[in-house]
Chains A and B, each alone.
Chain A
Amino acid sequence: MSPELSRRGFLKYTGLAGAAAASTGLLSACSSTPSGAATWAMWSSSPAERKVWSDFSNYVERQLQVESIPTLTPSGGYPTKLDLQLVSGTAGLVTALNGTLIPTYAARGAHRPLDDLIAADPDFDPADFYPAIQKISTFNGRTYAIGFDVAPTVLYYNKTLLAKAGIAAPSPTEPMSWETFRDLAKELTRPPDQYGFTCAPAIDDLVSWIYCAGGNVMSQDGSRSILNAPEAESAIQFVIDLFVRDKVTPPIRNLVTESSLSNFMEGNVAFMQNGPWQVVNVRKAKFDWDVIPFPAGAAGSTPRVSGSSFAIPAGVKGEKLDLAWRLLKTLTSAGALDIYAKAGRNNPARRSAGSAFKPPPDNLGVVQDILAGKVAGGHPYDVTTNWNQVRQLLGQDLPRTFLGQVAVPETLDGLTPRLDVLMKQHQDNVRQAEARKG
């Protein structure tokens, strides 16, 4: 007997086994959407975000002359809901994906490659998108998504605080060195009322330092972990020292609600690393502030570049595919991204829509200069097909170094073999995806 079960066969057996089939039927019946409508899924956690997606929806209806039905889900629960929708066949024609999850979904066959649609459409110009988001939206040599935002991590600074301390504003074009940055952070730290720096005690913030030191979480081919290589280790040690030895960061109160943004917004922290997606929130600050390029390490200023995209589920076929592609093009068109950028949500993924993401702050243009390679640099966030597991493992062990409970080398020695197991699993995922492709 072949050990492989077809999906249909599996569903048949489980359906016979219990009432799972009944519940699936109920789910499908409850969430059927009108045919011919442009259905799409997006995360949304605030009224301001809902307003943007509502404007997107209106734009889609005007452009496509069909009903637009966005399904909005709070960002925390979005991937789980999307999974359930994809499995039950109730997902929209187009779904938003965070860049870190694109390889995960692509490797599992949840979304379809778009290269054939791109090649057959002379109206679609991929070159208008920044190279970083093109790389983020690609897996195994194929394009699985089209970006709607992309941005490098930058350094926010409290101008008022620096001016009060008599420190000149840092250059918006020349990234400062790590040493200069640490000295400044120390100089501006006066506990318990004032601190030099804040970042989240998690891998998402650590990777920018690792990239700037010339390191990475895994080797270029994704086959093994190199987090314990000298470059990555020195970067992690540098950041941990800011927390534990130099004590230039606000004390960590707990690991769940710890937020660099809320620390910075209190007005007593000089520098915060974050993405320009926080500009919309920091604009509410009651002090003067601006952004500058990320501090330069041994490999220069090459912080992570993150982005999000829209993709088409693998189950969308036939006439629906045509509508899905037109919907995807509309959602990522310059017109739609202008709405996004004008609302200040984040830097749009298209060069032609960039002008809508305007200052304040004064130096906001540095974001597009970095993406265009004019100032400093960036490094697309490298992830694996099991990035959730990698992030989970790192999220479990790394925070204890930020708390000073475990030394950095000890943590990395413990993490490396476990990360290597995940890298092996990632290689298997890539091979399986490759086999499906063949």
Chain B
Amino acid sequence: MAVETLPARTPVRPAPTRSGPTPRWRSKETLAAWLFILPSLIGFLVFTAGPVVAAGVISLLNWNLFSSPTFAGLKNFARLGPDPTFWSALGNTVYFTFVSVPLTILVSLALALLLNQGLRRIAVFRSLLLLPYATITVAVAFVWIWLYIPQDGLVNAVLGWFGISGPAWLISDDWAMPALIAMSVWKSFGFGMVVFLAGLQAIPQQLYEAAKVDGSSAWQTFRSVTLPMLSPSLFFVVVTSIIGSFQVFDQALIMTNGGPGSRTTTLVMYIYRTGFENYDQGYAAAQSLVLFGFIVVITAAQFVLQRRLVHYDN
């Protein structure tokens, strides 16, 4: 039997006519979308992109705010190399970030898992645990200063109950940074906890039921179901926490003013001092751009890793 074949058809695109359909970019939906985006876009251009570009220009100048700026080329970037305070501030910031972020995530995740166990009055607990995050850092920092007082502060009093003689937290070379990290973890865990809780509650129950039928242990279920399904939330919290930690400023300024010595001087604190106390705008801008570069590289690396480690159910 002969098989009838249909002649191949070349798809024909209708010839554009003046009275034809409106181009996609001029459609009402597109215009509406732009209108909705516009406020954010203007905000981004004015308050984010503009200052970044301006910082790029200023980093090439010697400028004390009042005298006419002079062109410095890349000299401000060259000053970074032999500046021990810059490297010390960068080291402190990296130390702060790579200790505080994992700790914050662990605490947030643990609390989110606990709250997800069908506790009664979960909203109350969730609100209470979110309070530190909602409180302004300045107030929290002052309270923690008093908690850390060596002679009669609450932290050392509690340690004393267990026979431990606590250090002079905020004036100790070894303990000032851990003290800042502890306060920061306490202040920040609420944000991660809420995100994780939302992620946990979005995991389909059928997956847990299937795991149960298969005889999975609690750990196996956590590792093979919870963690992969929670990975988008985890990724979001890791990225935002690392960016936030690289920008740590207020709590260090208030609690230790960067001391003792320069043990808790963070990069943003150093940038602020260079720009607004030492009036060296060009050098401060160069430091800002280097910090910006660090954050971009680390965030980009996380996005690369995301392809392997983050599981999206679609």
Chain A positions near chain B (C-beta within 8 angstroms) = 3-7, 10, 13-14, 17-20, 22-23, 79-80, 83, 86-87, 104, 108-110, 192, 251-257, 314, 386, 388-389, 392, 395-397, 399-400, 403, 405, 432, 436
Contact = CB atoms under 8 A, between A and B. Distances in A.
B297 interface: no
Nearest to A315: B66
11 contacts: A4-B71, A14-B58, A18-B49, A18-B50, A19-B49, A108-B65, A253-B168, A255-B257, A255-B259, A395-B259, A400-B259
Size band of the interface chain B makes with A: 35 or more
B134 to A, nearest CB: 24
A202 to B, nearest CB: 10
B296 interface: no
Contacts of A432: 67
A13 B69 CA distance: 12
B46 A23 contact: yes
B102 interface: no
**6 interchain residue pairs of minimum CB distance:** A18-B50, A19-B50, A19-B46, A18-B53, A3-B71, A254-B170
Contact of A396 (B168, B261, B278): B261
A436 B68 CA distance: 11
Contact of B54 (A20, A256, A392, A397): A20
Interface in B56-115: 56-58, 61, 63-71
A252 B47 CA distance: 42
A4 B66 contact: no
B49 A254 contact: no
Given A5-B61, A22-B46, A255 B67 contact: no
Given A256-B145, A388-B277, A400-B260, A23 B50 contact: yes
B45 A19 contact: yes
Contacts of A257: 142, 145
A405 B260 contact: yes
A6 to B, nearest CB: 6
A4 B49 CA distance: 26
B261 A18 contact: no
B150 interface: yes
B171 A255 contact: yes
Given A5-B61, A253-B149, A14 B66 contact: no
Contacts of A395: 257, 259
A14 B281 CA distance: 14
A41 to B, nearest CB: 16
Contacts of B276: 79-80, 83
Given A17-B54, A18-B52, A436-B67, 16 more contacts: A4-B68, A5-B61, A6-B68, A17-B50, A17-B53, A18-B53, A19-B50, A20-B53, A22-B46, A253-B168, A254-B255, A388-B277, A396-B259, A399-B171, A400-B261, A403-B171
